[in-house]
Amino acid sequence: MRKWLVPAMILCLLATGCNTVARNETSPSPQNDNRVRAQQSAPQKKQISSPKQVAAHLEDLARHVPGVKAAHCVVFKNTAIVGIDVAGNLERSRVGTIKYAVAEAFRKDPYGIDAIVTADIDIATRLKEVQADMKRGRPLAGMAEEMADIIGRIVPQVPRDIQPEQPDPAKTDKQKMSQKL
Protein backbone atom coordinates (compact mmCIF):
# COMPACT_ATOMS: atom_id res chain seq x y z
CA MET A 1 0.00 0.00 0.00
CA ARG A 2 2.76 2.46 0.95
CA LYS A 3 4.65 1.62 -2.22
CA TRP A 4 1.79 2.99 -4.29
CA LEU A 5 0.85 5.89 -2.02
CA VAL A 6 4.00 7.99 -2.49
CA PRO A 7 4.08 7.74 -6.33
CA ALA A 8 0.34 8.41 -6.48
CA MET A 9 0.76 11.59 -4.37
CA ILE A 10 3.63 12.78 -6.56
CA LEU A 11 1.56 12.12 -9.68
CA CYS A 12 -1.37 14.09 -8.24
CA LEU A 13 0.88 17.03 -7.34
CA LEU A 14 2.41 17.08 -10.80
CA ALA A 15 -0.99 16.88 -12.46
CA THR A 16 -2.42 19.75 -10.43
CA GLY A 17 0.72 21.86 -10.84
CA CYS A 18 0.68 21.51 -14.63
CA ASN A 19 -3.01 22.34 -14.92
CA THR A 20 -3.08 25.97 -15.96
CA VAL A 21 -6.19 27.79 -17.05
CA ALA A 22 -5.91 29.64 -20.31
CA ARG A 23 -6.80 33.27 -19.74
CA ASN A 24 -8.08 35.43 -22.50
CA GLU A 25 -7.50 38.56 -20.45
CA THR A 26 -4.83 40.81 -21.92
CA SER A 27 -3.13 43.74 -20.34
CA PRO A 28 -4.74 47.09 -21.07
CA SER A 29 -3.37 49.00 -24.01
CA PRO A 30 -1.37 52.13 -23.14
CA GLN A 31 -3.40 54.14 -25.68
CA ASN A 32 -6.67 53.32 -23.88
CA ASP A 33 -5.29 54.23 -20.48
CA ASN A 34 -7.00 57.33 -19.07
CA ARG A 35 -4.52 57.92 -16.25
CA VAL A 36 -2.51 61.12 -16.00
CA ARG A 37 1.09 60.78 -17.18
CA ALA A 38 3.99 62.96 -16.10
CA GLN A 39 7.29 63.55 -17.81
CA GLN A 40 10.54 63.04 -15.91
CA SER A 41 11.54 66.31 -14.33
CA ALA A 42 15.03 65.38 -13.16
CA PRO A 43 17.77 67.70 -14.39
CA GLN A 44 19.32 66.41 -17.57
CA LYS A 45 23.05 65.82 -17.76
CA LYS A 46 24.79 68.41 -19.91
CA GLN A 47 27.34 67.43 -22.51
CA ILE A 48 30.79 68.43 -21.32
CA SER A 49 32.49 70.45 -24.05
CA SER A 50 35.32 71.92 -21.96
CA PRO A 51 36.59 69.41 -19.37
CA LYS A 52 39.03 71.90 -17.80
CA GLN A 53 36.34 74.49 -17.17
CA VAL A 54 33.93 71.90 -15.80
CA ALA A 55 36.64 70.51 -13.50
CA ALA A 56 37.46 73.99 -12.20
CA HIS A 57 33.74 74.74 -11.72
CA LEU A 58 33.08 71.53 -9.75
CA GLU A 59 36.22 72.01 -7.64
CA ASP A 60 35.04 75.51 -6.79
CA LEU A 61 31.58 74.23 -5.85
CA ALA A 62 33.10 71.56 -3.61
CA ARG A 63 35.52 73.98 -1.91
CA HIS A 64 32.62 76.20 -0.87
CA VAL A 65 31.11 73.41 1.23
CA PRO A 66 32.07 73.83 4.90
CA GLY A 67 34.65 71.26 5.97
CA VAL A 68 36.26 70.80 2.54
CA LYS A 69 39.90 71.93 2.55
CA ALA A 70 40.58 71.18 -1.11
CA ALA A 71 39.00 69.43 -4.06
CA HIS A 72 40.45 67.74 -7.12
CA CYS A 73 38.35 66.94 -10.17
CA VAL A 74 39.10 64.85 -13.22
CA VAL A 75 36.66 64.82 -16.14
CA PHE A 76 36.77 61.79 -18.38
CA LYS A 77 34.40 61.92 -21.37
CA ASN A 78 31.09 62.98 -19.80
CA THR A 79 31.76 61.93 -16.19
CA ALA A 80 33.45 63.90 -13.42
CA ILE A 81 35.22 62.32 -10.46
CA VAL A 82 35.76 64.68 -7.54
CA GLY A 83 38.04 63.89 -4.62
CA ILE A 84 37.59 66.09 -1.58
CA ASP A 85 40.21 66.69 1.08
CA VAL A 86 38.94 67.02 4.65
CA ALA A 87 40.69 67.26 7.99
CA GLY A 88 42.32 63.98 8.95
CA ASN A 89 41.01 64.02 12.52
CA LEU A 90 37.32 64.03 11.57
CA GLU A 91 35.10 61.11 12.51
CA ARG A 92 33.80 58.90 9.73
CA SER A 93 30.22 60.11 10.19
CA ARG A 94 31.30 63.76 9.84
CA VAL A 95 33.27 62.93 6.68
CA GLY A 96 30.16 61.23 5.29
CA THR A 97 28.10 64.32 6.09
CA ILE A 98 30.57 66.57 4.26
CA LYS A 99 30.65 64.24 1.28
CA TYR A 100 26.83 64.23 1.23
CA ALA A 101 26.79 68.05 1.34
CA VAL A 102 29.12 68.18 -1.67
CA ALA A 103 26.91 65.73 -3.56
CA GLU A 104 23.88 67.82 -2.63
CA ALA A 105 25.56 70.94 -4.05
CA PHE A 106 26.37 69.02 -7.23
CA ARG A 107 22.79 67.79 -7.56
CA LYS A 108 21.64 71.31 -8.34
CA ASP A 109 24.34 71.78 -10.98
CA PRO A 110 23.85 70.48 -14.53
CA TYR A 111 27.47 69.36 -14.77
CA GLY A 112 27.62 67.88 -11.30
CA ILE A 113 24.39 65.90 -11.35
CA ASP A 114 26.17 62.66 -12.32
CA ALA A 115 29.56 63.39 -10.75
CA ILE A 116 31.22 60.87 -8.46
CA VAL A 117 32.30 62.28 -5.09
CA THR A 118 34.87 60.56 -2.89
CA ALA A 119 36.50 61.54 0.38
CA ASP A 120 39.11 58.77 0.27
CA ILE A 121 42.47 60.48 0.76
CA ASP A 122 44.31 58.01 -1.46
CA ILE A 123 41.92 58.45 -4.38
CA ALA A 124 41.84 62.24 -3.90
CA THR A 125 45.66 62.30 -4.04
CA ARG A 126 45.64 60.13 -7.15
CA LEU A 127 43.12 62.45 -8.80
CA LYS A 128 45.50 65.32 -8.05
CA GLU A 129 48.30 63.37 -9.76
CA VAL A 130 46.09 62.66 -12.79
CA GLN A 131 45.37 66.41 -13.00
CA ALA A 132 49.09 67.12 -12.98
CA ASP A 133 49.66 64.52 -15.73
CA MET A 134 46.91 66.14 -17.80
CA LYS A 135 48.58 69.53 -17.44
CA ARG A 136 51.86 67.97 -18.58
CA GLY A 137 50.13 66.64 -21.70
CA ARG A 138 49.87 62.98 -20.69
CA PRO A 139 46.16 62.49 -19.87
CA LEU A 140 45.80 58.85 -20.93
CA ALA A 141 49.17 57.67 -19.65
CA GLY A 142 48.62 59.41 -16.30
CA MET A 143 45.14 57.95 -15.95
CA ALA A 144 46.37 54.46 -16.84
CA GLU A 145 49.24 54.62 -14.34
CA GLU A 146 46.99 55.78 -11.51
CA MET A 147 44.31 53.19 -12.31
CA ALA A 148 47.01 50.50 -12.24
CA ASP A 149 48.14 51.76 -8.82
CA ILE A 150 44.58 51.80 -7.48
CA ILE A 151 43.83 48.31 -8.77
CA GLY A 152 47.16 47.07 -7.39
CA ARG A 153 46.02 48.15 -3.93
CA ILE A 154 42.54 46.65 -4.26
CA VAL A 155 43.55 43.20 -5.52
CA PRO A 156 44.19 41.00 -2.48
CA GLN A 157 47.38 39.03 -1.99
CA VAL A 158 46.77 35.46 -0.82
CA PRO A 159 49.79 33.82 0.83
CA ARG A 160 48.75 30.39 -0.46
CA ASP A 161 49.08 31.63 -4.04
CA ILE A 162 52.67 32.78 -3.60
CA GLN A 163 55.16 30.42 -5.17
CA PRO A 164 58.71 30.69 -3.88
CA GLU A 165 61.23 31.44 -6.58
CA GLN A 166 63.04 28.30 -7.69
CA PRO A 167 66.79 28.81 -8.08
CA ASP A 168 68.13 28.30 -11.58
CA PRO A 169 70.58 25.34 -11.52
CA ALA A 170 72.86 26.98 -14.08
CA LYS A 171 73.22 30.12 -11.97
CA THR A 172 73.90 28.19 -8.77
CA ASP A 173 76.64 26.17 -10.48
CA LYS A 174 78.29 29.40 -11.71
CA GLN A 175 78.06 30.91 -8.22
CA LYS A 176 79.66 27.81 -6.68
CA MET A 177 82.45 27.90 -9.24
CA SER A 178 83.15 31.59 -8.62
CA GLN A 179 83.23 31.00 -4.85
CA LYS A 180 85.79 28.22 -5.23
CA LEU A 181 88.11 30.44 -7.27
Measured distance CA(20)–CA(174) in Å, rounded: 82
Q: pLDDT tens string for the chain (181 positions)?
A: 556 666 666 766 666 665 555 555 555 555 665 666 666 555 566 677 788 888 899 999 999 999 999 999 888 877 888 999 998 898 989 999 999 999 999 888 887 877 889 888 888 888 888 888 888 888 888 888 887 887 777 776 667 777 777 777 666 666 666 666 6
Measured distance CA(125)–CA(71) in Å, rounded: 10
Select from 22, 35, 24, 134 the least CA-distant residue to 75: 134
